[in-house]
């Protein structure tokens, strides 16, 4: 290859070489090299086969002999240029060429260069002699190349390093853990600042009390001085000399102590402010680190383009169909883990579209459509979500056929009136298919339960829209990344849940009377901004918890969400705030629960469930419909509803047992009062009569047997149901309890379901007896 531009010589150099054309060509290259570098090549010089970017980047030296004629040249003397073939030429600057040298018409006498296959000994000797000078030329050329060539800068900046995916995932998980610890540290600093503020208020109160004490002490001292003036030195008036009693000395000492405490408080306040500043800086660096790690996991969706097009071509070829696939948004970035797991669902939907969605060319021509079917995948980003839309211009989904198939399988009662959107949900059921014959290619609906399940496991939502004769559109909405998400923390009863922000359209606030009017009237549609939302209480969906309107004058938050085509307004008890959460997987037992997509850890160490709103709302809707139908058909007796919250008294000397039981029963819509021992319980029973008492045996001052005996001998309390819960599960203890008149006897530890079942049984018996 050419290593430099051909020099325009006024007079060609005389040719002394009488060899073949090959030697002549080599001599011309030597002339060019001498002209460009202004050097002299010896007979032992060796010209490399290539002089390009690779020889610069991979070789430690140039395989040429350099002989400088005019001394050293500066770093700016070399100029590196790139020709059309991609090779680089090195030449001296005009300043160097303008120095005093031999006239251009007097050229160095050409020398005869030996072939590349020169003897090994001569090459080694020449290499050793010219190593230093060759390296000098290379270093200057490299420096000039990197400093002036923009493409070189981009190449260096865009250098890639291969990293194992498991190592990258581990780093992302560690970054998520840093976020968790950062949140906990922030929570501790906030708590410390709050306690410091409380300490400030305490110091203010203490200072005021000491001021009053000092004034009172001063008055008493003056009074005593008038009575005992003869005991003091009469040479000085009290105004001329202070005389301190012991009380006054203590008072002044306390004032000094308060001053010291206030100084310590100010120092602690400065430490808190410094900690907050450091925490803010750490948060910024941590966020940048986390964002950088997340960017390393992002890949272009276009990496799947060839694979998806091949699936469409193969399926169309097997069916004798003509289908083209258009992909819009190939440069959209998706989390690598999300992209890997969404491949199979996309392939399945494309096969279905080609197999049963798009008609054959003759059928399309008869309908006035282009003979070639059109499939389109659109990838876009909306906020923190990636939206993938798969659409075709085929025949659409036959909703009537789906309804008929659902009736044949016993999934749908003929008397039920469902919208087309609700009927389409049946294609997500396992084993559901409308295909008339079984082939190796999936029919529309076959395996869609797996597609829907995979998308939900990714925290996404699948929506289906079809128009008969026009085509079908599948809209997949996925989180941008699986590691970190943004959520809204809400309180429902005493429990905290995380609701992903991408599933919330808005938040409104309603008063207690407004909500109660909706629930009491049975009119559950709430109108907002021209849209209708079905009003539900989130606690009722999750645990059956009934809403509490006792807090007068308070506005209750209502989350506006959309699940498919179903719009819901979810009433919650309290909003905690928006948080960036680290999504953690849950165990196999919890992951099977509908409506749960994962869990996260808050700054205070609490584990919070992340809700999947689409599955939760739709699942609640189907549950209520199916439950009502089953009750109507089988005639099952519905549980007796207590009009007010039942009052449960928990009597136990362990504060842990009291707190755990109170929280557990609160989830079941029960009001709990606690007593620390038998004496405390008897004292409270004078003012209130609970519906059920949970009683321990071993307690100080008054044990459980004595409390039960007192209750059974009291005319007002003798019918109070008692469940004795104790670690003494022997027959002797049980027989004594039953002899006193205890209704139920449970051993510790007990199951929550068993306790709730026993309480409900006693409540039902009490209601029947009354």
Mean pLDDT in runs of 10 for the chain (770 residues)? 41 46 55 52 48 41 41 48 50 48 48 52 64 56 54 54 74 74 78 79 77 72 55 52 61 74 81 82 78 79 89 90 90 85 88 87 88 91 82 87 81 74 76 60 59 78 84 84 78 85 83 77 74 81 71 75 74 84 73 75 80 69 40 39 70 84 85 87 86 87 87 87 85 86 86 86 74
Q: What is the CATH number of the domain that holds 545?
A: 2.30.30.40
The answer to whether residue 14 is domain-embedded is: no
What is the pLDDT, as a whole number, of residue 378? 93
The answer to whether residue 518 is domain-embedded is: no
Residues contacting 563, CB < 8 A, separation 6+: 461, 613, 614, 616, 617, 618
82 φ, ψ (degrees, to nearest 5): -115, 130
Last residue of one domain, picked from the residues 604, 634, 664: 634
The answer to whether residue 372 is domain-embedded is: yes
What is the pLDDT, as a whole number, of residue 25? 55
What is the pLDDT, as a whole number, of residue 576? 87
pTM (global) more than 0.85: no
Q: 209 and 228: one domain?
A: yes
The answer to whether residue 701 is domain-embedded is: yes
Q: 388 and 460: one domain?
A: yes
What is the pLDDT, as a whole number, of residue 326? 92
Structure tokens at 352: 């279905």
Q: What angle do CA 507, 509, 512 make, to 5 degrees?
A: 145
477 φ, ψ (degrees, to nearest 5): -115, 115
Q: 379 and 427: one domain?
A: yes
The answer to whether residue 639 is domain-embedded is: no
Last residue of one domain, picked from the residues 422, 446, 479: 479
Q: 680 and 603: one domain?
A: no
Per the structure, how many domains does the chain have?
A: 5
Closest among 401, 513, 407, 556 to 466, alpha carbons compared: 401
- pLDDT tens for 504-558 read 888 888 887 787 777 777 667 788 777 778 888 888 787 776 776 655 557 888 8
Q: 209 and 118: one domain?
A: no
Task: Say how far apart CA 678 and CA 695 lie, in whole Å.
Answer: 9
Closest among 69, 111, 108, 85 to 1, alpha carbons compared: 85
The answer to whether residue 97 is domain-embedded is: yes
What is the pLDDT, as a whole number, of residue 523? 66
Q: 659 and 725: one domain?
A: yes
Q: 460 and 556: one domain?
A: no
Provide the total of helices (H) and of strands (E) in the chain, helices listed first. 23, 24
- pLDDT tens for 377-420 read 999 887 667 889 999 998 888 888 888 888 887 777 777 777 77
Q: Could you tell me the residue range of the domain that residue 720 belongs to?
A: 647-769
The answer to whether residue 512 is domain-embedded is: no
The answer to whether residue 577 is domain-embedded is: yes
Q: 714 and 744: one domain?
A: yes
Q: What is the CATH number of the domain that holds 714?
A: 3.40.50.2300
Q: 275 and 369: one domain?
A: no
Q: 318 and 464: one domain?
A: yes
Residues 533, 416: contact at Cβ < 8 Å?
A: no
Q: What is the CATH number of the domain that holds 433?
A: 3.30.565.10
Q: 624 and 651: one domain?
A: no
Q: 343 and 381: one domain?
A: yes
Last residue of one domain, picked from the residues 420, 452, 479: 479
């Amino acid at each position: 290859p050419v290593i430099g531009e051909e020099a325009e010589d006024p007079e060609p150099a005389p040719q002394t070489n009488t060899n073949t054309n090959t030697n002549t060509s080599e001599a011309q290259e030597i002339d060019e090299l001498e002209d460009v570098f202004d050097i002299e090549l010896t007979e032992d010089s060796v010209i490399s086969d290539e002089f390009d970017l690779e020889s610069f980047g991979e070789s430690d030296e140039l395989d040429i002999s350099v002989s400088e004629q005019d001394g050293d040249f500066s770093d700016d003397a070399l100029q590196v240029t790139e020709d059309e073939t991609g090779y680089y030429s090195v030449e001296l600057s005009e300043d160097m060429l303008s120095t005093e040298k031999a006239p251009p018409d007097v050229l160095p006498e050409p020398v005869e260069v030996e072939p590349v296959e020169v003897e090994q000994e001569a090459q080694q000797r020449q290499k050793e002699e010219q190593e230093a000078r060759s390296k000098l030329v290379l270093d200057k050329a490299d420096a000039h190349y990197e400093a002036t060539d923009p493409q070189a800068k981009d190449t260096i900046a865009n250098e890639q390093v291969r990293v194992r995916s498991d190592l990258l995932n581990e780093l992302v998980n560690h970054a998520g853990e840093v976020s968790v610890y950062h949140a906990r540290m922030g929570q501790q600093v906030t708590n410390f600042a709050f306690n410091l503020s409380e300490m400030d208020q305490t110091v203010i109160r203490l200072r005021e009390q000491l001021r009053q004490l000092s004034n009172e002490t001063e008055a008493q001292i003056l009074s005593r001085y008038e009575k005992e003036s003869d005991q003091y030195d009469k040479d000085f008036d009290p105004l001329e000399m202070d005389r301190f009693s012991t009380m006054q000395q203590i008072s002044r000492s306390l004032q000094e102590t308060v001053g010291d405490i206030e100084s310590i408080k100010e120092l602690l306040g400065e430490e808190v402010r410094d900690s907050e500043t450091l925490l803010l800086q750490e948060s910024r660096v941590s966020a940048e680190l986390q964002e950088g790690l997340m960017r390393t996991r992002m890949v272009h969706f276009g990496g799947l383009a060839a694979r998806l097009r091949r699936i469409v071509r193969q399926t169309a070829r097997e069916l004798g169909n003509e289908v083209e696939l258009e992909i819009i948004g190939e440069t959209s970035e998706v989390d690598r883990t999300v992209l890997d797991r969404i491949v199979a669902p996309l392939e399945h939907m494309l096969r279905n579209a080609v197999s049963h969605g798009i008609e054959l060319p003759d059928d399309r021509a008869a309908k006035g459509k282009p003979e070639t079917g059109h499939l389109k995948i659109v990838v876009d980003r909306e906020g923190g979500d990636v939206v993938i839309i798969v659409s075709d211009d085929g025949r659409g989904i036959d909703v009537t056929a789906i309804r008929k198939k659902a009736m044949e399988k016993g999934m749908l009662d003929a008397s039920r009136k469902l919208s087309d959107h609700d009927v389409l949900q049946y294609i997500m059921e396992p084993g559901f298919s409308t295909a008339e014959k079984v082939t190796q290619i999936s029919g529309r609906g076959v395996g869609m339960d797996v597609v829907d399940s995979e998308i939900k496991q990714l925290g996404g939502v699948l929506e289906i829209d079809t128009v008969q004769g026009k085509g079908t559109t599948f809209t997949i909405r996925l989180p941008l990344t699986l590691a970190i998400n943004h959520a809204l923390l809400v309180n429902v009863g005493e429990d905290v849940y995380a609701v992903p922000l991408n599933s919330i359209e808005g938040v409104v606030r309603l008063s207690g009377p407004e909500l109660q009017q909706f629930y009491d009237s049975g009119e559950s549609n709430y109108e907002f901004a021209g849209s209708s939302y079905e009003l539900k209480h989130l606690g009722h969906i999750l645990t059956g918890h009934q809403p509490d309107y006792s807090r007068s004058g308070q506005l209750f938050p209502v989350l506006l969400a959309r699940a498919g085509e179903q719009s819901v307004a979810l009433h919650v008890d309290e909003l905690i705030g928006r948080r960036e959460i680290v999504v953690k997987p849950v165990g196999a037992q919890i992951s099977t629960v509908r409506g749960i997509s994962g869990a996260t850890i808050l700054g205070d160490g609490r584990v919070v469930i992340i809700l999947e709103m689409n599955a939760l709302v739709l699942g609640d809707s189907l549950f209520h419909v199916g439950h009502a139908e089953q009750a109507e058909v089988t005639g099952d007796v519905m549980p007796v509803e207590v009009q007010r919250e039942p009052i449960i008294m928990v009597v136990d000397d362990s504060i842990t047992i009291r707190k755990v039981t109170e929280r557990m029963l609160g989830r079941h819509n029960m009001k709990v009062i606690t007593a620390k021992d038998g004496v405390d319980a008897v004292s409270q029973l004078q003012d209130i009569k609970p519906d059920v008492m949970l009683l321990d045996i071993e307690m100080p001052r008054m044990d459980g047997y004595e409390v039960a005996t007192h209750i059974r001998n009291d005319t007002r309390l003798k019918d109070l149901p008692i469940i004795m819960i104790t670690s003494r599960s022997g027959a002797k203890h049980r027989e004594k309890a039953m002899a006193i008149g205890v209704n139920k006897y449970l051993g510790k530890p007990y199951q929550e379901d068993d306790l709730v079942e026993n309480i409900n049984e006693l409540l039902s018996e009490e209601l029947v007896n009354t």
